[in-house]
Amino acid sequence: MTSTAAHPRTGSGITFLFSSFTGLPDQYLQGYAFDDADYVFGSGAEDLHQSTGRRIEPGGDGCYVSVSRTEDGHVVGVDGSGLKKVFYYSDGPTWCVSNSLTRLAGHLQEHGVRLTVSFAHLMGVKVRHGITAQQSTYQTFFNEVRLLPTRNYLHVDWRGLHVCTLPRPEPVDYVTALRGYLSTWTRRCATLLGVPGIQITSDITGGVDSRSIFALLHRTTDLLGEPVSRVRFRSGVGERWAADFEAAGRIASRHGFRLNPPPGVRTLLGGATEGSRPLTGPERYTEWRDLCLGNYLSIYFPSRTLDPWSPRFHGGGGGNHRPFYSPGEPEEFLAQFDQVKPTYLRAAWQAEMRGCFDTLRADQPTVDPMVMHYREFRNRFHAGRDPQYAAVLAPLSSNPIKALSHHPDKVATRQIYFDVMESLVPGLLDLPYDDPRKAPSAENHRDLTVVDVRLERPGRVWIGRSEDEAAPPGGDDTSPFDLLARDLERSRRPLVLDFLGEKVAATAHEVVESARTTQKFAHANDARDTTRMLTVGFALEVAGVG
């Protein structure tokens, strides 16, 4: 079922903001969600509610924020992986929530609310490591603004914001959890494959994450009697991706499909052939800045509006179920930064990190705190970046697989992935990988758990209208790289240079000037010093420092 009802206009389509100054709608969904096996996008949630009485509640699968009116206020929450983030300010009856630090700070400034800088948190941008390439604690660089943990939602009433905790599912045995994960996601794949106008794309590399997703899609097409080519499988090309492409090519050859086929022509609601439109240069820059500045260092500009008709599966979330950081014990891990200067701020940042690890331990005492940290931060801000720009579906970051990860012996040995593959497409786990070390061990083969997967009833599709379908008037297509250079120049203030150093400023300038010439970064990570400059400059400017 589809809907053409419009959203309340509260964001750009990928960011949202509500406050005690704006109030809250009775019902709202930004983004996309699965309700059991039903696929719901935007205002399609209104049709779902009118037809079934069901609402998209906090803690489900997808990438969304939902608002619902209750008898005693409103509930505001996001998906269970926290891919759609919530930053919040709360001071009695004055409050604000948004997934954009820049919008939140600007809105509060407009209403006379003063924010102050947390230099301990800001110190994180000086620590050069993958753990600080994105938000790394629940504190932000404003003392008064925090990130909502994934297990929480907000209840809003006349007194203000109240942080509440989602109920924790009861643990189940491993076989039951494996069967539940495979059943849920084959039904969801069948839901999407059952709509002719929907074109599914899936990434396929040389690793285990994307291969386990391929297995889900392949088995579902088999169960439906469809060719596996019903899904467009993509793999990177060029020297950098040579090993991935070779491994993906072997899978394609064995299972009879073509890598990187051209997209087909589709007919959508109302006869349209495209489910989105290109963004202008200023839109690309603004959406990146609003979504990522202050919480993610690499720069990827979006190119199109969100398209619900073109869902893309990927292996994001794989790090949620295996060790990622090394050393693997928090205190030993933090000790490697003991030489970072200045000492007093580095020590304050380490104390903030220790507090975060303590919180994670208390919340999930049976799960490695380093794995929990990955789930709460890198998964949300790094793997979770693509799902903001497009309808990206990540089964490895979903609720059904979390039940599997509660079995730590299966996490440590990567057994989950091999059990998934062997249950869905026998023999797939033994095709060569881009790195031989990724192949299953003799112990993995010995410990295989295989469950039967059958075709079950798929769900329905409820696609509503996005928040930003019409192009803005005027046709301004200033390059996002020119706008980035403008803001970088504005950030070159004495206190910013004192904090980060001239070398960071020089590197940022060189990278941006090169990108202005080529209209791209050699790699998004090259722009991290640029984001460091903008982040520190923005924080100090808002707080009226320097």
Q: What is the pLDDT of residues 43-91, one digit of tens each?
A: 999 999 999 999 999 999 999 999 999 999 999 999 999 999 999 999 9
CA R_g for the chain: 23
Tens-place pLDDT, residues 404-420: 877 888 888 899 999 99
Q: In this structure, are 111 and 213 located in the same domain?
A: no
Give just the sign of the alpha carbon dihedral 440, 442, 445, 448.
negative
How many C-alpha atoms does 495 have within 13 Å on its Cβ side? Answer: 12
Q: In this structure, are 229 and 126 located in the same domain?
A: no
How many of the other CB atoms lie within 10 Å of CB of 238? 7
Give just the sign of the alpha carbon dihedral 113, 159, 155, 72.
negative
Domain that holds residue 487: 480-543
Q: Please name the residue that has the structure tokens 């390059």.
A: 479
Whether the pLDDT of residue 104 is over 60: the answer is yes
Q: pLDDT grade, residue 143 (50/70/90)?
A: very high
Whether the pLDDT of residue 8 is over 90: the answer is no
Q: In this structure, are 203 and 314 located in the same domain?
A: yes
pLDDT at residue 412 in the model:
81
Q: In this structure, are 157 and 181 located in the same domain?
A: no
Last residue of a domain, one of 438, 463, 488: 463
Q: Which residue has the higher pLDDT, 20 or 229?
A: 20
Taking the C-alpha atoms of residue 288 and residue 259, their distance in angstroms, rounded to an integer, is 30
pTM of the full predicted structure?
Answer: 0.92
Mean pLDDT along residues 497-514: 98
Q: In this structure, are 70 and 187 located in the same domain?
A: no
Structural domain includes residue 342: no
Mean pLDDT along residues 521-525: 95
Structural domain includes residue 475: no
Q: In this structure, are 199 and 156 located in the same domain?
A: no
Whether the pLDDT of residue 471 is over 70: the answer is no
Structural domain includes residue 192: yes
Last residue of a domain, one of 134, 165, 196: 165
Copy the structure tokens of residue 198: 């929907």
Last residue of a domain, one of 165, 198, 219: 165
Structural domain includes residue 282: no
Contact 336, 375 (CB under 8 A): no
Q: In this structure, are 485 and 537 located in the same domain?
A: yes
Q: In this structure, are 149 and 224 located in the same domain?
A: no
Whether the pLDDT of residue 270 is over 80: the answer is no
Lowest mean pLDDT: which of 35-39, 163-167, 234-238, 511-515?
A: 234-238
Taking the C-alpha atoms of residue 95 and residue 118, their distance in angstroms, rounded to an integer, is 19
Q: Which residue has the higher pLDDT, 268 or 477?
A: 477
Number of structural domains, the chain? 3
Taking the C-alpha atoms of residue 480 and residue 474, their distance in angstroms, rounded to an integer, is 16
Tens-place pLDDT, residues 196-221: 889 999 999 999 999 999 999 999 99
pLDDT at residue 218 in the model:
97
Mean pLDDT along residues 147-166: 97
Structural domain includes residue 365: no
Q: pLDDT grade, residue 364 (50/70/90)?
A: confident
Mean pLDDT along residues 131-156: 97
pLDDT at residue 417 in the model:
94
pLDDT at residue 466 in the model:
57
Q: In this structure, are 191 and 53 located in the same domain?
A: no
Mean pLDDT along residues 479-507: 97
How many of the other CB atoms lie within 10 Å of CB of 142? 23
Whether the pLDDT of residue 539 is over 60: the answer is yes
Mean pLDDT along residues 464-483: 73
Question: Amino acid identity of 55?
Answer: R
pLDDT at residue 274 in the model:
65
pLDDT at residue 505 in the model:
98
Q: pLDDT grade, residue 467 (50/70/90)?
A: low
Q: In this structure, are 458 and 529 located in the same domain?
A: no
Structural domain includes residue 89: yes
pLDDT at residue 368 in the model:
86
Taking the C-alpha atoms of residue 360 and residue 369, their distance in angstroms, rounded to an integer, is 6
Report the share of the chain in percent with pLDDT over 70: 94
Taking the C-alpha atoms of residue 485 and residue 497, their distance in angstroms, rounded to an integer, is 16
Whether the pLDDT of residue 273 is over 70: the answer is no
Lowest mean pLDDT: which of 256-265, 380-389, 391-400, 509-518?
A: 256-265
Structural domain includes residue 364: no
Taking CA atoms, 59 is separated from 64, 124, 381, 411, 451, in Å, by 10, 29, 17, 22, 27
- CA torsion angle for 514, 518, 521, 522 (degrees, to 10)? -90
Highest mean pLDDT among 37-51, 273-287, 461-475: 37-51
Structural domain includes residue 472: no
Q: In this structure, are 178 and 161 located in the same domain?
A: no
Average predicted confidence (pLDDT) for the chain? 92
Peptide bond into 327 cis (omega under 30): yes
Q: In this structure, are 311 and 431 located in the same domain?
A: yes
